[in-house]
């Protein structure tokens, strides 16, 4: 269950907010609502990226508004409308997507293609189609503001012509179902929304910073109890204001009550006919709302009908002034004070009369205002807590720890990582955790391959990359990508992590796995982690994983037989191919049948170079038409550090020039398609060559392994001469019998098809992560 008392941080979280309403100037209720919610999320550490689509403004927007909004948020975007705004309904009611704009759709596609966002907040149900363009990992939050179902009928019942947006239950349900979380502005509407869709609904009331107002009394008002209403000039406000005057003013006149009624805001433009009536004052538009509140003793909210939360009622709560309101106007506000729950406009008038003749009750009513404000603030805090947890926990991620050799040109780690990404991203959204310095070239190499993946740098990598930790805007701007900076432990506690896929041991694990991460499923790809380890130390680098309570040791098929898990007795083993798709198959220019370059390759260890030199010389004599054989060492160390200067092989200068390290093998063998006739493997199954052994089998190249024990894996069909004479015989047969070589090649291909047709290892991993994902979804729902 989600903890409603959570104080989780939204540090390094990016939230895109789509709004048809500007957040400057803050002179309307809906603007204040949107600004307030965004600021509260920002206070939790989130970065707010504001996308303004000016759909609720018919007039031209001043340029200074855009400048102000650009300063309000971490980034600001605007999309001009390409269709008429606020168009009347085509039928009796609006369809939910009737106001949708193709221009907004195109811009959203571009934004999500080039930027990463953890959450997407869409304001108003009629823009909910925007959710269809957000990646699956983005937490989609719909801020409804109002219930639009039945709005036409409500207005018509009051003799008001339908205006703005109004729709039906089935259409509004479409919008709700597109979201992961729905915000209702009051509980009454939340109950209604829960009946329409199964999407979780959270009551997110509006709250404003508390700013107590001191009454500034003028000479003209000193003998009066001044009550006042402020609002925009829409039909609902106008109708309620007129009804209040018609029903209550006669009571005031009959009682000779010292009461003055003040109206402020654009509402006054619709009440011009009342300005000459005694006891009524039209303030008109005010520079600031404080000007209005300072001019009244009591705020009245005479709204007997409307939709949504009465923002003006909420705004008044923050002033700590006495408030008298209709029960309907205080829906969604936690107060039971009689002055806040009047059943009629006449009752509001009677409460005002009571105060006019007994001013001592004003202070008690002001205390009730503060009590309601505190309760409202707690409700909003709980809603923000729930929303924060939804953003952080709604989607489970797979974290891939990127190996630094991924960024090397023509490296096997690069192609293998891309294939792993292709396989895992169908299970869950991915996070790429980089523990090595990045520059623009490296960063874009990863980002452009998978735009939906989240790139996160360790603090060490960020510092080495020249990124400033206190930078207010996106960390990755200097790298040309969207990224964040977190420790791995912080990432795993702030996000719902389904699994860690280790292409490299992160720095934080070198001293052991932190307690908070020991329950997270870990998949350690040992063939990558150990491939460049010194001989005899293959397992030293990954012993730090022994603290994991859910560890799977992942091996490619040809090295699984060497696994001795005595130091991690509880570890599971998964045998998976290193290549999901062979790299050379990805290039259309290469033929399906390899083009052999008549070269022999020899795999060796530094200590076996004397034997390698003899095999090299023998192959040079047996295959005079071939290129000089190549020797690849399972080490990148200089030869003079591992061999004495008097070694006989060093006297053969041509042999020395034929030696290369394992780091060159990928480019020579795979990247340039220099497919050899066959390979003589003198490496004693060293893991540095593990991926190439798999490659040899799959491409059909015979591998000769002298003086080796029979393989434990039946799919291997290598030639295994048991003596030097037997090796000479086999090499001689390969040199003189072309059909023998062809038979060996075809047999290897057949063996590979059998060995890799049923990929049980990947199937098991897929099933395990899918089960974890389903449990998460059940918990969240």
Residue ranges covered by each domain of the chain: 14-203, 219-380, 395-575, 588-757
Helix (H, G, I), strand (E, B) or coil at 80: coil
**Helices 361-393/760-780 angle, 10° precision:** 170
For residue 239, give the H/E element and its range: helix 235-255
The residue among 42, 51, 48, 58 whose CA lies nearest residue 22 is: 51
724 Cβ neighbours under 8 A, 6+ residues apart: 706
Q: How far is CA 655 from CA 370, 472, 571, 652, in A?
A: 90, 58, 44, 5
Q: How far is CA 254 from CA 177, 242, 250, 273, 350, in A?
A: 54, 19, 6, 22, 12
Q: Which residues of the chain have pLDDT under 50?
A: 1-6, 470-473, 532-538, 558-561, 586-594, 641-642, 644, 710-717
DSSP 632: E
CB 302 within 8 A of CB 240: yes
CA dist., res. 99 & res. 536, Å (int): 68
Q: Residue 778 CB: number of other CB atoms within 10 A?
A: 8
Q: What is the CATH number of domain 588-757?
A: 3.40.50.2000
CA dist., res. 597 & res. 368, Å (int): 90
CB 684 within 8 A of CB 709: no
283 Cβ neighbours under 8 A, 6+ residues apart: 228, 262, 263, 264, 268, 291, 292, 295
CB 754 within 8 A of CB 744: no
CB 85 within 8 A of CB 65: no
CA dist., res. 339 & res. 474, Å (int): 49
User: What are 754-781's pLDDT values in tens digits?
Assistant: 777 666 778 888 888 888 888 877 776 5
So what's the pLDDT on residue 627? 78
CA dist., res. 79 & res. 66, Å (int): 12
So what's the pLDDT on residue 590? 40
14-203 and 219-380, same CATH topology: yes
For residue 157, give the H/E element and its range: helix 151-157
CA dist., res. 120 & res. 127, Å (int): 12
CA dist., res. 604 & res. 403, Å (int): 25
The residue among 488, 430, 431, 479 whose CA lies nearest residue 458 is: 488
The class level of CATH for 395-575 reads alpha beta
DSSP 607: G
CA dist., res. 705 & res. 680, Å (int): 6
CATH of 14-203, one of 3.40.50.1000, 3.90.180.10, 3.40.50.2000, 1.10.357.10: 3.40.50.2000
Dihedral, CA of residue 762, residue 399, residue 109 and residue 385, to nearest 10: 130
So what's the pLDDT on residue 467? 76
CA dist., res. 507 & res. 207, Å (int): 44
Q: What angle do CA 596, 600, 605 make, to 5 degrees?
A: 135
For residue 692, give the H/E element and its range: helix 690-699
| Residue written as token pair 């048991």 | 722
Token pair, residue 233, equals 């000039």
The residue among 221, 175, 182 whose CA lies nearest residue 199 is: 182
DSSP 149: B
Q: Residue 177 CB: number of other CB atoms within 10 A?
A: 15
CB 475 within 8 A of CB 394: no
| Residue written as token pair 């192609």 | 415
How many residues are there in the chain?
A: 781
CA dist., res. 116 & res. 15, Å (int): 9
The residue among 679, 682, 678 whose CA lies nearest residue 724 is: 682
| Residue written as token pair 């790299």 | 583
So what's the pLDDT on residue 233? 86
So what's the pLDDT on residue 288? 87
CA dist., res. 688 & res. 44, Å (int): 47
How much is the pTM?
Answer: 0.70
Yes or no: is domain 219-380 CATH 3.40.50.2000? yes
Cα torsion angle, 122, 123, 125, 129, sign = negative
């Amino acid at each position: 269950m989600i903890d409603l008392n959570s104080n989780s941080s939204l540090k390094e979280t990016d939230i895109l907010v789509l709004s048809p309403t500007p957040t400057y100037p803050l002179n309307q209720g809906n603007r204040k609502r949107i600004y307030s919610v965004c600021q509260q999320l920002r206070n939790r550490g989130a970065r707010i990226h504001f996308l303004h689509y000016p759909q609720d403004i018919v007039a031209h927007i001043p340029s200074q508004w855009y400048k102000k909004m650009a300063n309000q948020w971490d980034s600001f975007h605007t999309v001009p409308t390409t269709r008429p705004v606020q168009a009347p309904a085509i039928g009796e009611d609006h369809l939910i997507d009737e106001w949708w704009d193709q221009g907004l759709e195109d811009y959203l596609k571009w934004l999500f293609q080039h930027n990463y966002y953890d959450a997407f907040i869409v304001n108003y149900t009629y823009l909910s189609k925007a959710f269809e363009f957000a990646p699956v990992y983005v937490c989609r939050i719909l801020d409804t503001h109002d219930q639009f179902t039945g709005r036409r009928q409500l207005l018509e019942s009051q003799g008001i012509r339908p205006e703005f947006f109004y729709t039906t239950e089935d259409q509004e349900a479409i919008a709700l179902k597109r979201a992961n979380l729905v915000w209702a502005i009051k509980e009454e509407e939340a109950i209604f929304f829960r009946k329409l869709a199964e999407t979780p609904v959270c009551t997110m009331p509006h709250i404003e910073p508390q700013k107590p107002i001191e009454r500034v009394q003028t000479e003209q008002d000193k003998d009066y109890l001044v009550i006042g209403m402020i609002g925009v000039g829409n039909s609902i406000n106008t109708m309620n204001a007129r009804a209040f005057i018609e029903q209550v003013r006669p009571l005031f006149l009959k009682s000779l009550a010292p009461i003055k009624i003040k109206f402020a805001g654009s509402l006054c433009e619709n009440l011009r006919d009342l300005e000459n009536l005694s006891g009524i004052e039209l303030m008109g538009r005010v520079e600031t709302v404080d000007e209005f509140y300072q001019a009244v003793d009591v705020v009245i909210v005479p709204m007997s009908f409307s939709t949504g939360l009465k923002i003006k009622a909420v705004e008044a709560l923050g002033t700590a002034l006495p408030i008298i309101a209709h029960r309907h106007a205080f829906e969604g506000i936690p107060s039971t004070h009689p002055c806040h729950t009047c059943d009629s406009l006449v009752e509001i008038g009677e409460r005002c009369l009571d105060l006019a003749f007994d001013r001592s009750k004003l202070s008690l009513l002001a205390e009730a205002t503060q009590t309601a404000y505190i309760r409202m603030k707690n409700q909003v805090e709980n809603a923000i807590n729930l929303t924060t947890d939804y953003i952080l926990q709604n989607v489970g991620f797979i974290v891939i720890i990127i190996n630094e050799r991924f960024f090397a040109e023509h490296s096997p780690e690069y192609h293998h990582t891309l294939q792993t990404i292709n396989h895992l991203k169908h299970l869950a959204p991915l996070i790429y955790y980089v523990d090595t310095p990045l520059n623009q070239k490296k960063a874009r190499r990863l980002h452009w391959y998978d735009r939906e993946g989240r790139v996160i740098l360790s603090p060490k990598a960020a510092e080495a990359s020249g990124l400033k930790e206190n930078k207010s805007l996106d960390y990755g701007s200097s790298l040309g990508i969207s990224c964040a900076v977190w420790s791995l432990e912080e990432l795993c506690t702030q996000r719902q992590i389904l699994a860690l896929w280790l292409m490299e041991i992160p720095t934080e694990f070198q001293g052991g796995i932190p307690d908070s991460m020991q329950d997270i499923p870990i998949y350690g790809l040992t063939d990558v982690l150990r491939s460049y380890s010194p001989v005899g130390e293959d397992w030293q680098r990954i012993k730090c994983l022994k603290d994991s309570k859910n560890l799977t040791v992942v091996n490619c098929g040809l090295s699984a037989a060497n696994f001795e898990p005595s130091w991690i007795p509880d570890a599971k083993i998964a045998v998976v191919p290193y290549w999901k798709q062979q790299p050379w198959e990805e290039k259309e220019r290469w033929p399906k049948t390899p083009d052999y370059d008549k070269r022999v390759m020899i795999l060796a260890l530094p200590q076996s170079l004397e034997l390698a030199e003899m095999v090299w010389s023998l192959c040079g004599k047996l295959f005079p038409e071939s290129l000089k054989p190549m020797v690849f060492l399972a080490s990148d160390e200089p030869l003079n550090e591992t061999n004495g200067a008097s070694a006989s092989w060093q006297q053969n200068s041509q042999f020395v020039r034929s030696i290369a390290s394992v780091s060159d093998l990928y480019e020579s063998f795979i990247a340039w398609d220099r497919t050899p006739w066959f390979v003589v493997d003198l490496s004693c199954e060293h893991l540095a060559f593990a991926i190439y052994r798999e490659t040899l089998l799959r491409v059909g190249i015979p591998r000769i392994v002298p003086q080796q024990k029979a393989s434990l894996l039946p799919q291997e069909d290598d030639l295994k001469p048991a003596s030097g004479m037997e090796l000479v015989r086999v090499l001689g047969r390969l040199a003189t019998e072309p059909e023998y070589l062809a038979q060996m090649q075809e047999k290897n291909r057949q063996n590979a098809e059998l060995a890799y047709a049923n990929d049980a290892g990947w199937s098991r991993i897929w099933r395990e992560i899918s089960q974890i994902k389903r449990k998460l979804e059940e918990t969240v729902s």
